[in-house]
């Protein structure tokens, strides 16, 4: 990734400034065209193999991860499901029968498909702004319950509705305004004893930034960057975002308490676990009821 970025930077220096806008526009158009072609070819091959009728179309897979390969789709989805289970266990929470769970930003069910298999007696809901993905999930990932939602709150659920809310690779893309309105909304739908699990870009992801961007992230704790090559494929407020550990913990404290940061070894994204404020207030009066995090996963780990 870094080598590619350095190569692109070097090539830019060879292009006259007067033609840079035209070259950039042509490149972005070519990227979108080749992506559409690759997705069509992948769909043809997937249908020929016909080994999984629950495999979403390639473009839906790309929209949740930037990847098309089916092996990556299965591997990452299964890994994310395990990560959620482990993070909840560390927080003293389990996906028990009857528990109601929301996948916020479920996409085409990359993670949810695995949790449905592992916990058939729990109640899973998925929401996303991607109507095409929601239609696919509704048809193929039963008994999950799916709804397409607006880019802005509220969600179509009452207050204190979910025992667990998780959000994988969503806040890694939202700008600061969208981030804040959705954190507030997730706190509304979470039960008083509920737990939120979300991911943010970690230290390894930040290392891939250029020096100027790393400086902005270090100074402000938040960085949101637009990708022109994805223009038209994703909304303007949905691009790529990086958080510092200090920033995300402080930001979450506006709506949640007892927020914990868990570093994922060798992972591009880290996990943040938070309790609803009502539950956290109760725990504050009885700290011994709060399960301790391991040293490796705590906010103070090296």
Asked if 152 and 180 count as a contact pair (C-beta separation under 8 A), the reply is no
> Given this model, what pLDDT does residue 24 score?
64
> Given this model, what pLDDT does residue 236 score?
72
Q: Percent of the chain at pLDDT above 70? A: 78
Q: What is the 3-state secondary structure (H, E, C) of 183-210?
A: HHHHHHHEEEEEEEEEEEECHHHHCCCC
Residue 181, helix vs strand vs coil: helix
* Structure token digits, residue 145: 């319950």
Q: How many C-beta neighbours within 10 Å does residue 296 have?
A: 10
* Structure token digits, residue 106: 């479920």
pLDDT tens figures, 102-141 = 999 999 999 999 999 999 999 999 999 999 999 999 999 9
CA 214 to chain centre: 21
Whole-angstrom distance, CA of residue 128 vs CA of residue 42: 24
With cut-offs at 50, 70 and 90, classify the pLDDT of residue 25: low
pLDDT tens figures, 203-253 = 899 999 999 999 999 999 999 998 765 566 566 778 899 999 999 999 999
Whole-angstrom distance, CA of residue 165 vs CA of residue 88: 11
Domain range list for the chain: 69-289
Asked if 260 and 245 count as a contact pair (C-beta separation under 8 A), the reply is no
Statement: residue 184 has pLDDT above 60: yes
pLDDT tens figures, 44-84 = 888 777 666 689 999 999 988 888 999 999 999 999 999 99
What CATH number does the domain located at 69-289 have?
A: 3.40.50.150
Q: Percent of the chain at pLDDT above 90? A: 63
Residue keyed to tokens 């250029």: 210
Statement: residue 181 has pLDDT above 80: yes
Whole-angstrom distance, CA of residue 263 vs CA of residue 267: 8
260: part of which helix (H) or strand (E)? Answer: strand 256-262
With cut-offs at 50, 70 and 90, classify the pLDDT of residue 254: very high
Q: Pairing mode, if any, of strands 145-148 and 123-128? A: parallel
């Amino acid at each position: 990734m870094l080598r590619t970025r350095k190569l692109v930077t070097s090539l830019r220096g060879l292009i006259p400034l007067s033609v840079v806008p035209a070259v950039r526009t042509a490149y972005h158009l070519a990227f979108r065209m080749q992506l559409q072609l690759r997705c069509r070819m992948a769909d043809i091959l997937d249908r020929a193999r016909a080994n999984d009728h629950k495999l979403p179309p390639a473009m839906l897979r790309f929209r949740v991860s930037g990847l098309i390969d089916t092996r990556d789709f299965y591997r990452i989805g299964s890994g994310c499901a395990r990560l959620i289970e482990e993070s909840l266990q560390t927080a003293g929470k389990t996906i028990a029968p009857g528990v109601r769970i929301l996948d916020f930003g479920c996409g085409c069910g990359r993670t949810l498909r695995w949790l449905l298999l592992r916990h058939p007696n729990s109640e899973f809901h998925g929401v996303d702004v991607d109507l095409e993905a929601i239609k696919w999930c509704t048809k193929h990932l039963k008994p999950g319950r799916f709804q397409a939602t607006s880019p802005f709150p509220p969600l179509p659920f009452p207050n204190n509705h979910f025992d667990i809310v998780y959000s994988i690779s969503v806040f890694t893309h939202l700008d600061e305004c969208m981030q804040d309105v959705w954190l507030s909304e997730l706190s509304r739908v979470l039960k008083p004893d509920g737990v939120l699990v979300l991911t943010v870009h970690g230290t390894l992801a930040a290392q891939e930034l250029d020096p100027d961007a790393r400086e902005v992230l270090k100074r402000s704790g938040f960085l949101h960057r637009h990708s022109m090559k994805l223009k038209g494929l994703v909304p303007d407020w949905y691009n790529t975002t990086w958080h510092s550990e200090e920033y995300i913990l402080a930001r979450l404290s506006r709506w949640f308490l007892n927020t914990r940061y868990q570093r994922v070894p060798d992972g591009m994204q880290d996990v943040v676990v938070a309790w609803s404020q009502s539950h956290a207030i109760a725990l504050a009066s009885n700290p011994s009821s709060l399960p301790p995090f391991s040293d490796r996963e705590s906010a103070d780990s090296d």
